[in-house]
Amino acid sequence: MDQPPLKGIRVVDLTTFLSGPSATQLLGDLGAEIIKVESLDGDSSRAIVGPELDGESAYFLANNRNKRSIAIDLKSPRGVEVMRRLIADADVVVENFRPGVCARLGLDPDELTAAHPSLVWVAISGFGQEGPLRDRPAYDMVVQALSGVMSLTGHPGAPAARLGIPAGDVVAGMYAVIGVVSALYARAETGRGRIIDVSMLRGQLAMLSYQAVYTNITNVAPGPQGAGHDSIATYRSFRGGDGREFVVTANTPRMWEGLCRTLGVEELVADERYLDAASRLRNRESLWAVLEARFAERPAAEWVALLTEAQVPVAPVKNVLEALADARAAGDGTLVTVGNGVAEFENVATPITFVGAEQVEPSYPPLLGEHTVSILRDELGLDDREIDELVADGVVVASGVSASVA
């Protein structure tokens, strides 16, 4: 059986919160070794208020499996020296500080990639390493707002809405991983690494997709999309007679005809108002009135079954609890259970499967500094006296364990 594709790649993870940790978790799922470098207080997501498991924030747990944690004071010269030694043996560094922070800490990407030409350095930031916004702090909702994404989310006439998922963070993390994999592929040929600049805002702008092109062509800003589509009248949500919502995406002539047959309104197929997609879009208000009235005659589940039989794409609108229950019942590896012998939880697995390859056995997100001693000893070759001295002087945190007893 083949090994995971990134087996043997060592990633030094200097990230916190979500965009960076989501990227390095994905790299770990693909087989890379992730050394998570935290401040002495830990990744700030450890303190997010919300559900907890065994005293740890669920927010942190969601994005930090398959990592080892070392806690270093990067404001101390000795801590920076430890960090530089870790980087010297790394294939990839991922950080999401504001631009310029790494250089001020003594970890200048230009200097370190010059000293280690094969190193791949990924800098995730809100607005990129250059430009007028580079020094501004950014969070998920900030880039959703600035990108136009929030203006598209919600229903017409209602205030702009944040997407219910952290798309600004997660998309940036995904683009970071694409950059890493591309750079490693090029490095195999040239021996040289790259510095990669990933902007959360640019990631959200890229996600606008056809909406960006529509807007550039028409010079008209689209409004909130609700549960519909700007171009396809029969691509939207409806309610059944029981009040449950379901979505219909009848976006081809065959599907349109199947929708009409299923609803018993075959006469609409020949109605000049609805002869093609363009006319249906022009007359969508009158069309929706007919469809909504028919859908109100039966429960949503019945319409879902009937439309499925007619090969019209349809699905009930499920809440997250229902969606995860479906994934669990499917048993196809969508969910992964992560445990440490004391606590365990389910999370969504990385949706990439390499057929015939060994799957990475997920490890529980680390305690702060859980692996400080082993990393200093095994990776950097420090002896117990040196490690205990670093712990005693507050340069590193080692989960309260001294090297001499670890």
3-state secondary structure the chain: CECCCCCCCEEEECCCCCHHHHHHHHHHHCCCEEEEEECCCCCHHHHCCCCEECCEEHHHHCCCCCCEEEEECCCCHHHHHHHHHHHHCCCEEEECCCCCHHHHHCCCHHHHHHHCCCCEEEEEECCCCCCCCCCCCCCHHHHHHHHCHHHHCCCCCCCCCCCCCCHHHHHHHHHHHHHHHHHHHHHHHHCCCCEEEEEHHHHHHHHCCHHHHHHHHHCCCCCCCCCCCCCCCCEEEEECCCCCEEEEECCCHHHHHHHHHHHCCCHHHHCHHHCCHHHHHHCHHHHHHHHHHHHCCCCHHHHHHHHHHCCCCEEECCCHHHHHHHHHHHCCCCEEEEECCCCEEEEECCCCCCCCECCCCCCCCCCCCCCHHHHHHHHCCCCHHHHHHHHHCCCEECCCCCCCCC
Q: Of 13, 29, 140, 169, which residue is the catalytic one?
A: 169
CATH class of the domain whose range is 10-207+333-370: alpha beta
Residue whose entry in the numeric block shows the structure tokens 């007359």:
283
Residue 4: what residue type?
P
Q: Is 169 one of the catalytic residues?
A: yes
Cα dihedral 252, 257, 260, 261, rounded to 10, equals: -140
pLDDT of residue 405: 47
φ, ψ for residue 23 (rounded to 5)?
-65, -45
| Buried-exposed string 352-387: b where 16+ CB fall within 10 A, e elsewhere | eeeeeeeebebbbbbbbbbbbbebbbebeebeeeeb
CA distance 304 to 377: 59
Q: Which fold has domain 235-317?
A: formyl-coa transferase, domain 3 (3.30.1540)
10 Å CB burial of residue 133 (0-12, 13-18, 19+) is: middle
For the chain, residues with pLDDT lower than 50 are 402, 405
Are 158 and 232 in contact by the 8 Å Cβ rule? The answer is no
Q: Where are the domains of the chain?
A: 10-207+333-370, 235-317
**Identical fold, 10-207+333-370 and 235-317:** no
Residue 401 confidence (pLDDT): 52
Identify the pLDDT of residue 310.
Answer: 98
